[in-house]
Amino acid sequence: MFYYVHTMQLRCGRCGARWEYRGRAEVYACCPQCRSKVKIDLEGIPLSLERWAVRVPLEVRVPDDLPGAAEAFYRGRLEPPFGPIAISTAIRHDHSNYDELVIRLEKKAAEEGADPKEVMAAYQILRERFDREICTRLWRSMACRCGRGDLDGGADPCRRRSI
């Protein structure tokens, strides 16, 4: 992940010192005179692509018929049975707002004239967030990986045993 330096004027509420802050912190800065915390106000500053990718709301819906959803997505491009990667790809593209957010990311990058490295980092953050969300929801909706069923409606029996 890339971090960009913020440059802004800050004023300490404790000692009244004013200075030009140049740093990477996003919430608090340290006053150079009294060393107290000063809140950084980023209200007027547009979100960087990476911060946008971390904060944008995700919408993911796991279909009832997972193999049917994968088959509808791949339509002749991939032969059944569909593995976890194929199913998660089908969910990402057909049952979430992933494609819409990627388009918004591209538009935002073009408007800001963003560096390609920042765009790719934001894309990677977005993709990883979706993958984590899909994995979490699939794990809740399917049987345990060890082959035992979902015994108590959500707790992983393997994890319960190992704790």
- Which runs of E-coded beta strand occur in 4-88? 6-11, 18-23, 28-30, 37-39
What integer is the mean pLDDT of 91-97? 94
Q: Where are the alpha helices (DSSP H) in the chain?
A: 49-55, 66-74, 84-94, 98-112, 116-141, 157-162
CA max distance for the chain: 69
Mean pLDDT rounded to a whole number for the chain = 80
Residue 27, amino acid: V
pLDDT for the residue numbered 163: 36
Identity of the highest mean pLDDT range in 20-24, 47-51, 69-73? 69-73
What integer is the mean pLDDT of 132-147? 70
pLDDT for the residue numbered 141: 62
What are the φ and ψ backbone dihedral angles of 8, each rounded to 5 degrees? -160, 165
pLDDT for the residue numbered 106: 95
What integer is the mean pLDDT of 132-151? 65
Give the predicted TM-score (pTM) of the model.
0.60
Flag whether pLDDT at 97 surpasses 90. Answer: yes
CB 91 within 8 A of CB 60: yes
d(CA 21, CA 32): 10
pLDDT for the residue numbered 140: 72
What integer is the mean pLDDT of 104-125? 91
pLDDT for the residue numbered 46: 60
Mapping DSSP to helix (H, G, I), strand (E, B) and coil, where does residue 45 land?
coil
d(CA 109, CA 22): 24
